[in-house]
């Protein structure tokens, strides 16, 4: 084969390897540059016969899938929840593959594109012209199509629709009512896999069918030993806190292997530097959390706002919020429109083509494959001010925010969410409080254990998701009214709330990430402070904020309502009148978009 073609394939192999190491965070089991090209660790995709675009698509997708398996799939949890009915095991394997691939698709646009393209190609190549009855369609094949359709949103063609139609009613009967739960728990392997295992074992189609045992056992053998991401003792309530110890996949969010980015981003020198930064961040987070003691996380809660109240009460609270909105909507709307014009002016994207260096122009790649003597063509994205952005609003839901402060905070979050969404800026709205006054169940447990000294945080956390970043405002607008729910606002433990919000936003694939905290003062929890040092919660808050400011690329700012919070945050604004909140929130975001803060 021509040396140029071999060189191109070798660069492509190096790019896949570097990318897989960073995605999986498994830096030992993927080969590095200049090591043995035939390393047995590099056997998860075949690069011997890369001749067509479809071959490249398949290689990229398989590489990404296997790296995601190492990152997100815990073999102990997989085996623990594996169905006892052998007929279900191959379907169970498919469900786990779809889970970790869906997580990867949310993490990086390039991964999503690679997997989607490959599955679309697989779908288009299926030939089942002789299908006449259900017996002609293997249940495994139909089930995979069902999962692709419902979790990956793959569009089926007429043939694959026909294949699925024979089985879809059976699948829907058992699975359809659980789909929302499964999608919400993709990050919780234990919850997801145990639910799917139960569903599969209870499916009517498996009551007497045991004809596919051998094939299923073979597929089960393909489940490798992925790295531990989740301990099987994790629960929904403490999962986000445990993820403080994970490293963030900090590949550039514009990573898109379809463009065959064999540029300096994926060279080993940059990858190793990036990996070192990730490991340092992991160590610093561990050190920070070792110093902060928690008596128990057993009673903590991460809850979606819609689960706080029934739909009728949520509608009433939303109407109450709308009534409050009337008084000063005009002022905030004018400011929001100003911000919108400012953002839209920065969102034009452009590329420079036919360059001597940069990103390999994939549109010219076929001519290289057809004739290796053709010269390579590169492209570069022109420098632009605006970057793909996500904003998290973290709102103090403590008792001292009761009344006008929490109402104004909810109104401003509502307005900002609508405004930024029009500009393609994702917005997440979170709240933090405690489940109880005076320590709740954690305090009761502490009492039963003879009140050990300096127990650390001694209350039950309640972290609330009012609106996810990928949820449209219309779907979440009633949730914002729930901030006005009677009895919701209790204590505020800011440090852990910021840690939770940080771990959520750091996993986002957007290039620019902004965390805005709205609070009315210092963290206060009487139960905790009565049995620990008086600055216990403040010290953790300061360390957490300092870590984000100095050791991450996330931009954090705070607005203190009636209190100066600059002793906690480098970038902080105090407002004396709560009516100033809308103006300040929008002006602060406007300033950020005008000029990016340079982080240390």
394 and 513 share a domain? yes
- Confirm whether 282 is domain-assigned: no
Of the pLDDT bands very low, low, confident and very high (cuts 50, 70, 90), residue 415 is confident
pLDDT, tens digit, for every residue of 243-295? 433 333 333 333 333 333 333 333 334 444 444 444 555 555 555 556 789 99
- Whether the per-residue pLDDT at 490 is higher than 90: the answer is yes
Instruction: State the pLDDT at residue 374.
Output: 62
Q: Does residue 438 come out as left (phi exceeding 0), alpha (psi in the -120 to 50 range) or beta?
A: left
Q: What are phi and psi for residue 372, nearest 5 degrees?
A: -60, -15
pLDDT, tens digit, for every residue of 129-161? 557 777 778 888 889 899 999 988 888 888 888
pLDDT average, residue stretch 185-201:
91
Instruction: State the pLDDT at residue 286.
Output: 55
498 and 580 share a domain? yes
pLDDT average, residue stretch 530-538:
92
Instruction: State the pLDDT at residue 241.
Output: 40
Q: Which two tokens stand for residue 136?
A: 């002609």
What CATH code is carried by the domain that includes residue 442? 3.40.50.410
Instruction: State the pLDDT at residue 130.
Output: 59
Which of 344, 360, 381 terminates a domain? The answer is 381
- Measured between alpha carbons, how far is 253 from 49 in angstroms, rounded to an integer? 29
C-alpha distances (whole Å) from 149 to each of 98, 127, 144 are 11, 18, 9
- Confirm whether 275 is domain-assigned: no
Instruction: State the pLDDT at residue 23.
Output: 83
248 and 328 share a domain? no
Instruction: State the pLDDT at residue 260.
Output: 34
- Confirm whether 504 is domain-assigned: yes
Of the pLDDT bands very low, low, confident and very high (cuts 50, 70, 90), residue 238 is very low
Interior angle at CA 541, CA 485 and CA 488, nearest 5:
10
pLDDT average, residue stretch 499-514:
91
- Confirm whether 77 is domain-assigned: yes
Instruction: State the pLDDT at residue 597.
Output: 38
- Measured between alpha carbons, how far is 113 from 40 in angstroms, rounded to an integer? 28
The residues, any chain, with a CB within 8 Å of residue 199's CB and separated by 6 or more, are: 174, 175, 178
Q: What are phi and psi for residue 256, nearest 5 degrees?
A: -150, 105
122 and 155 share a domain? yes
* SS3 state of residue 266: helix
- Which has more pLDDT, 18 or 45? 18
- Confirm whether 271 is domain-assigned: no
Instruction: State the pLDDT at residue 161.
Output: 86
Of the pLDDT bands very low, low, confident and very high (cuts 50, 70, 90), residue 208 is very low
230 and 330 share a domain? no
Q: Which among 29, 513, 33, 579 is positioned nearest to 270, based on CA atoms?
A: 33
211 and 322 share a domain? no
- Whether the per-residue pLDDT at 588 is higher than 50: the answer is yes
Q: Which long-range contacts (CB under 8 A, 24 or more apart) does 594-600 make?
A: 594/342, 596/512, 596/555, 597/555, 597/571, 599/549, 599/550, 599/552, 599/553, 599/555, 600/549, 600/550
The residues, any chain, with a CB within 8 Å of residue 358's CB and separated by 6 or more, are: 263, 352, 378, 379, 380
- Whether the per-residue pLDDT at 232 is higher than 80: the answer is no
pLDDT average, residue stretch 423-428:
86
Instruction: State the pLDDT at residue 427.
Output: 93
The residues, any chain, with a CB within 8 Å of residue 474's CB and separated by 6 or more, are: none
- Confirm whether 296 is domain-assigned: no
- Whether the per-residue pLDDT at 47 is higher than 80: the answer is no
Of all residues in the chain, what percent are helix, strand and coil, respectively (each to 5)?
A: 55, 10, 35
468 and 373 share a domain? no
Q: Which among 61, 73, 62, 63 is positioned nearest to 100, based on CA atoms?
A: 73
252 and 366 share a domain? no
* SS3 state of residue 548: helix
Task: Find the DSSP H helices in 507-569.
Answer: 526-529, 536-551
Question: What is the extent of the structural domain holding 426?
Answer: 303-334+389-594
Which of 227, 259, 291 terminates a domain? The answer is 259
pLDDT average, residue stretch 521-536:
91
Contact call for residues 517 and 498 (beta carbons, < 8 A): yes
Which of 196, 226, 259 terminates a domain? The answer is 259
364 and 429 share a domain? no
Percent of the chain at pLDDT exceeding 70: 66
Instruction: State the pLDDT at residue 249.
Output: 31
Of the pLDDT bands very low, low, confident and very high (cuts 50, 70, 90), residue 511 is confident
Number of domains the chain is built from: 3
Residue whose token pair is 């706080």: 308
- Confirm whether 328 is domain-assigned: yes
Instruction: State the pLDDT at residue 498.
Output: 95
- Measured between alpha carbons, how far is 348 from 353 in angstroms, rounded to an integer? 17
Mean of per-residue pLDDT scores for the chain = 75
- Whether the per-residue pLDDT at 499 is higher than 90: the answer is yes
Q: Which two tokens stand for residue 366?
A: 């076929």
Instruction: State the pLDDT at residue 234.
Output: 40
> DSSP assignment, residue 514?
E
Which range is least confidently modeled, 235-239, 435-439, 562-566, 594-598?
Answer: 235-239
368 and 416 share a domain? no
Instruction: State the pLDDT at residue 548.
Output: 93
- Measured between alpha carbons, how far is 90 from 106 in angstroms, rounded to an integer? 25
pLDDT average, residue stretch 193-221:
62
Q: Give 570: exposed, middle or buried? Use CB within 10 Å, 0-12, 13-18, 19+.
A: middle
Q: How many C-beta atoms surround the C-beta of residue 19 within 10 A?
A: 27
- Measured between alpha carbons, how far is 216 from 90 in angstroms, rounded to an integer? 5
Instruction: State the pLDDT at residue 34.
Output: 39
312 and 191 share a domain? no
- Whether the per-residue pLDDT at 563 is higher than 80: the answer is yes
pLDDT, tens digit, for every residue of 326-382? 766 666 666 667 666 666 555 555 566 667 666 766 666 666 666 665 666 666 665
pLDDT, tens digit, for every residue of 69-101? 988 899 999 999 998 877 788 899 999 999 999
pLDDT average, residue stretch 166-172:
89
Question: How far does Cα 228 stand from its chain's mean position?
Answer: 18
515 and 366 share a domain? no
Contact call for residues 510 and 253 (beta carbons, < 8 A): yes
Q: Which two tokens stand for residue 35?
A: 């090591």
- Confirm whether 9 is domain-assigned: yes
């Amino acid at each position: 084969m021509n040396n140029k073609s071999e060189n191109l394939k070798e660069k492509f192999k190096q790019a896949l390897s570097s990318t897989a190491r960073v995605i999986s965070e498994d830096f030992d089991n993927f080969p590095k540059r200049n090591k043995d090209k035939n390393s047995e660790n590099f056997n998860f995709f075949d690069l011997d016969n890369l001749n067509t675009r479809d071959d490249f698509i398949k290689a990229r997708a398989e590489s990404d899938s296997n790296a995601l398996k190492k990152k997100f799939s815990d073999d102990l949890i997989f085996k623990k929840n594996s169905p006892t009915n052998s007929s279900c095991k191959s379907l169970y394997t498919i469900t786990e593959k779809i889970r970790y691939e869906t997580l990867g698709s949310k993490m990086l646009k390039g991964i999503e594109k690679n997997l989607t393209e490959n599955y679309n190609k697989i779908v288009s190549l299926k030939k089942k012209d002789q299908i006449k009855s259900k017996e002609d369609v293997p249940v495994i094949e139909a089930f995979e199509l069902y999962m692709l359709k419902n979790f990956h949103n793959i569009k089926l063609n007429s043939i694959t629709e026909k294949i699925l139609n024979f089985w879809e009613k059976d699948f829907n009967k058992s699975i359809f009512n659980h789909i929302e739960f499964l999608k919400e728990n993709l990050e919780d392997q234990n919850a997801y896999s145990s639910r799917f295992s139960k569903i599969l074992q209870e499916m009517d189609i498996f009551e007497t069918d045991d004809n596919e045992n051998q094939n299923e056992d073979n597929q089960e053998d393909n489940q490798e030993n992925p790295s531990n991401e989740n301990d099987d003792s994790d629960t929904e309530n403490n999962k986000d806190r445990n993820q403080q110890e994970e490293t963030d996949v900090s590949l550039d969010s514009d990573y898109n292997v379809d463009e065959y980015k064999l540029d300096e981003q994926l060279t080993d020198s940059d990858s190793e530097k990036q990996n070192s930064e990730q490991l340092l961040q992991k160590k610093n987070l561990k050190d920070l959390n070792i110093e902060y003691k928690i008596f128990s996380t057993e009673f903590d809660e991460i809850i979606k706002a819609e689960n706080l109240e029934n739909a009728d009460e949520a509608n009433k609270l939303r109407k109450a919020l709308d009534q409050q909105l009337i008084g000063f909507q005009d002022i905030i709307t004018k400011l929001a429109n100003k911000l919108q014009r400012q953002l839209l002016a920065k969102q034009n994207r452009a590329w420079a083509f036919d360059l001597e260096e940069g990103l390999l122009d994939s549109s010219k790649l076929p001519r290289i494959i057809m004739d290796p003597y053709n010269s390579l063509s590169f492209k570069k994205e022109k420098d632009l001010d605006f970057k793909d952005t996500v904003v998290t609003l973290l709102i103090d839901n403590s008792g001292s925010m009761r009344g006008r402060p929490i109402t104004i905070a909810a109104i401003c979050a509502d307005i900002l969410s609508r405004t930024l969404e029009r500009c393609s800026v994702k917005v997440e709205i979170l709240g933090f409080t405690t489940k109880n006054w005076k320590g709740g169940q954690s305090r009761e447990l502490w009492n039963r254990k003879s009140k050990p000294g300096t127990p650390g945080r001694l209350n039950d956390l309640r972290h609330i998701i009012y609106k996810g970043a990928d949820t449209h405002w219309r779907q979440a607008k009633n949730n914002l009214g729930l901030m006005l729910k009677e009895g919701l606002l209790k204590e505020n433990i800011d440090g852990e709330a910021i840690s939770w919000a940080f771990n959520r936003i750091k996993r986002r694939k957007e290039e620019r990430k902004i965390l805005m905290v709205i609070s009315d003062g210092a963290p206060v929890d009487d139960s905790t402070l009565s049995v620990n040092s008086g600055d216990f919660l403040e010290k953790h808050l300061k360390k957490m904020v300092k870590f984000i400011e100095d050791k991450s690329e996330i931009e954090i700012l705070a607005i203190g309502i009636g209190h100066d919070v600059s002793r906690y945050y480098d970038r902080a604004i105090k407002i004396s009148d709560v009516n100033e909140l809308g103006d300040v929130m929008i002006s602060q975001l406007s300033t950020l978009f005008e000029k990016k803060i340079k982080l240390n």
